[in-house]
Chains A and B, each alone.
Chain A
């Protein structure tokens, strides 16, 4: 059995944070969300499409996102996602948690300090 890479595991755990972050400023549909995350990361990573939609639907079920079928500028009706107040609060929580986690990882990786 192949072990999932660290990147895959990290991406899966941070997908809600990434999704909420890109939706903070605008309403987007699923494929756009994946593309935007890819662009913002400079192509370094993108959420697996297979885990993106479950994450979107879970956030919607939680009340963090609201979805709506709407005509798009570039084609047929699409399912647009919009962050809610509850989603905004959740994003703040995730950001704080991530910052704390990232600092901890950075300190650990940097090794012991002389201070």
Chain B
């Protein structure tokens, strides 16, 4: 509703308008389907017109009341006038300018909002680490839990996707607000209509981009975070021009919400935060139980000097690829020792990537074993040992990206021994720090949704 006092031309010394005129302007304003600033201008212009018109009619000898009625009659029905004025403002030129200007401003807003989002996310991320560390860990573990936890989280590729997505949420919100504001102002279309168009178009574009176009390291948290970007954009577009949240309650609620969400994503992405890792009691019973599980892969070749033939030299488990290195247990790989001599008896050496599951041998023991649901490795790659030297070898075991989600894997090296049987030559748990690493999935959300687990 428009108040003549709110118009840009009003001043304290202006003649007050009769009640009928105020009512006319109120009806005119209510019927104008235009942005607020345009409605205010029209109301001001019409108020000026009435002052002039009434003064002229009064000078012809009519009384004030009749002059006001006559002035209204000359201007006509307010609803019809509003419809004509609304129509006059809605030109194709302004529509195109509004669309282009809105997109331009939204782009600028997105850039600024993204920088702002990165600052906010970084601050909240550190805050959530401290909060989670305080709440979830005993006080004595606080520093140990927080600092490595932060590092682990940053090294987790899906977590990075989630953090970028949350920064993008801020960018989407700012972009939507600026785009709607500029489009409304320039196109002179109804603010409600412009908000809806921006919400639908922005939501559809961002949703399709997130689900079908943009590849990224994914897990459940990153998927939800990426999808949130389109919802936040639509919310920003549909919100009225003035935020209604009252300070400080609304902001406190929003801050707690963001903190909770980021804490949850942090908690979900950092294994160390799901509880203090239990020390692996390397008891003979537990070890024997685990080795029995390993025997499903292949029986172990007898130890050389009390050790398996091969030791693992580390592995990189990236997007769709495992790069795994192994070496013999001999001190100098260039000088063949007992392990190298044992290895020379084998042919068809290969890496085998097996799906892994947690193995709880006892309440104090947590380890990893090949997933009992599978009787064959998921992927294999040749272990290309040099026939002269038995130094480190490595292999890249490729995953079929788009078909397998983030999963835990254990890599074994096997070979066909002198008796023609395949034997296991390493025991991964000794050199992998107690368990496998998780491979990360990179692809679109759609690929993640349709991938096997």
Contacts and interface: CB of A to CB of B under 8 A. Distances in A.
Interface of B is mostly: helix
A31 B75 contact: no
A78 B9 contact: yes
Given A53-B46, A54-B88, A57-B85, A48 B76 contact: yes
B81 A50 contact: yes
B140 interface: no
Contacts of B89: 57, 61
B279 interface: no
Contacts of B41: 69, 79
A77 B88 contact: no
Contacts of B85: 53-54, 57
Contact of B45 (A30, A51, A62, A75): A30
B90 to A, nearest CB: 8
A54 to B, nearest CB: 4
Contacts of B421: none
A48 B75 CA distance: 7
B46 A63 contact: no
A49 interface: yes
A29 B76 contact: no
A49 B9 CA distance: 20
Contacts of A77: 8-9, 11
Given A53-B45, A79-B45, A79-B48, A61 B93 contact: yes
Contacts of A51: 84
Contacts of B53: 31, 49
A76 interface: yes
A58 interface: yes
Given A54-B87, A69-B9, A77-B11, A31 B93 contact: no
Interface residues of A, number: 22
Contacts of B292: none
A53 B93 CA distance: 20
Interface residues of B, number: 33
Contacts of B80: 50
B88 A58 contact: yes
Interface of A is mostly: helix
Contact of B9 (A53, A62, A76): A76
Nearest to A32: B52
A7 to B, nearest CB: 16
Contact of A62 (B8, B14, B91): B91
Interface in A30-48: 30-31, 35, 48
Given A69-B9, A77-B11, A54 B74 contact: no
B76 A61 contact: no
Contacts of B56: 35
A75 B81 CA distance: 26
A49 B54 CA distance: 13
Contacts of B44: 69, 79
Nearest to B188: A61
Given A30-B48, A31-B53, A50-B80, A76 B88 contact: no
A76 B80 CA distance: 28
Nearest to B41: A79
B300 to A, nearest CB: 85
Interface in B362-414: none
17 contacts: A29-B48, A48-B74, A49-B53, A53-B81, A54-B81, A54-B84, A57-B42, A57-B89, A61-B90, A61-B91, A61-B188, A76-B9, A76-B48, A77-B9, A77-B11, A78-B9, A79-B44
By Cβ-Cβ distance, the 4 closest A-B pairs, closest first, are A50-B76, A54-B84, A58-B88, A31-B52
Given A53-B46, A54-B81, A61-B90, 20 more contacts: A30-B49, A31-B48, A31-B49, A49-B49, A49-B74, A49-B76, A50-B74, A50-B77, A50-B84, A53-B49, A53-B81, A54-B84, A54-B85, A54-B88, A55-B88, A57-B89, A58-B87, A69-B44, A75-B51, A76-B9
